[in-house]
Structure 1
Amino acid sequence: MTTTSADPADPRTHLLRYLREARESLLLKLDGLSEYDARRPLTPTGTNVLGLVKHAAFTEHGYFGVVFDQRVEPLSWGFDFEEDNIDMWATPEQSREALVTDLRRVAAHTDRFVGTAPLTTRGRVPWWPAEKAEVTVHQIALHLVAELHRHAGHADIVRELVDGEVGLRSRGNNLPERDTDWWGAYRERVEEAARTFR
């Protein structure tokens, strides 16, 4: 096996960077939240910040464990596939610290594996349809980049609903620096534009 290259032409460099950025963006959304606010459902389907972290660890654990027959340490919680959405929320017995540690441990495994295995290494996703189940490390790393960034976006919106905090990699870093009055007027302008289609 080869080691990770910092060569910008090496796709492995970019895969690892985007995986790390997605995880850190997701974990940033927990900063400063109370236990209640980290866990409470803010959409009709129950989306919550800590549940997204738990789901990210669960997903990454499966894709870079089961799919490539890699031994990954078990998660801090057991699961029953008969219970729908068990990976999308934290039970009272599951601590924030344990779920964050799960994600960091699984991430370290993924980064080592993606950083050293040939990107053409083949695996099989048993929960995908048979015609799509045969995959490569490169393909699953791309899939996970999309999955993690999607959930980091969910977490950004959910966190904004909790306390107004937004930002991709730090608080507000990817938004115009404006005060509350400006944002209120901006939102009203967007609402007025939408009302023309009622």
Structure 2
Amino acid sequence: MAGSCRMIDEFAKDNLHGRLRRDREALLWKLDGLSDLWATEDETRDQIIGFYRRTWEHSDATITALPLDAPGHVPWWPEPCPNTNLFAVMVHVLGESIRHAGHADILREGLDGRTGLRAEHEKQIDDEARAAYCAKIEQAARSAAPIKAY
């Protein structure tokens, strides 16, 4: 039984780690060619992305070296959660990465119409079709019955 538990743990860890790697790359792709909104005057885009990639390397080494039940401590997590394990941290980081990639996707589509999970899946939205679709949504919203307060 212990061997099968280790196999399941390794499968779960590999699966979570693979998704995290995929979503990190997706986030960088969505930022490709954009300036940095919250960077200081002396920070460059390359410096910020370099820092992000160095954190990946550290995270990847930690994930590779430790079992899923390895204890951890996240001091800014509320009680009783500061004492946690690698599995919970990986699930949390994956959720955060997906959420931020979604935000970047919304912003990117609004800026230039580029959508997709990764560069190889990129779709360019037809500006005329997009404008017509937005007008259709706006018209539907304006013609909808007002919501009654109860």
TM bucket (normalised to shorter chain) is 0.7 to 0.9
Tell me the TM-score normalized by structure 1: 0.62
Residue in 2 aligned with 1:72?
A: none
What value does the CA root-mean-square deviation take over the aligned residues? 2.2
Cα offset, 1:174, TM superposition: 6.8
Deviations 1:59-84 (A, max 9, x none): xxxxxxxxxxxxxxxxxxxxxxxxxx
**Aligned pair count?**
137
Provide the identity percentage. Answer: 38
Larger Rg, first or second structure (1 or 2): 2
Residue in 2 aligned with 1:19?
A: 20
Q: Equivalents in 1 of 2:84, 2:26: separation in Å?
A: 27
Determine which structure has the larger helix proportion and give its number. Answer: 2
Deviations 1:152-172 (A, max 9, x none): 11111222233232222127x
Q: Secondary structure at the match of 2:84?
A: strand
**Higher relative contact order, chain-length normalized (CA < 8 Å, sep 6+):** 1
Q: Where in structure 2 are the equivalents of 1:64-143 lying within 5 Å?
A: 89-143=38-92
Q: Pick the aligned partner of 1:193 from 128, 135, 140.
A: 140
Q: Equivalents in 2 of 1:174, 1:31: separation in Å?
A: 12
Residue in 1 aligned with 2:29?
A: 28
Conserved in 2, the CA contact under 8 Å of 1:16 and 1:115?
no
Give the letter aligned to residue 189 of structure 1: K
1:91/1:178 Cα in 2 relative to 1: closer, same or farther (>3 Å)? Answer: closer
Q: Equivalents in 2 of 1:13, 1:197: separation in Å?
A: 50
Q: Equivalents in 1 of 2:112, 2:125: separation in Å?
A: 17
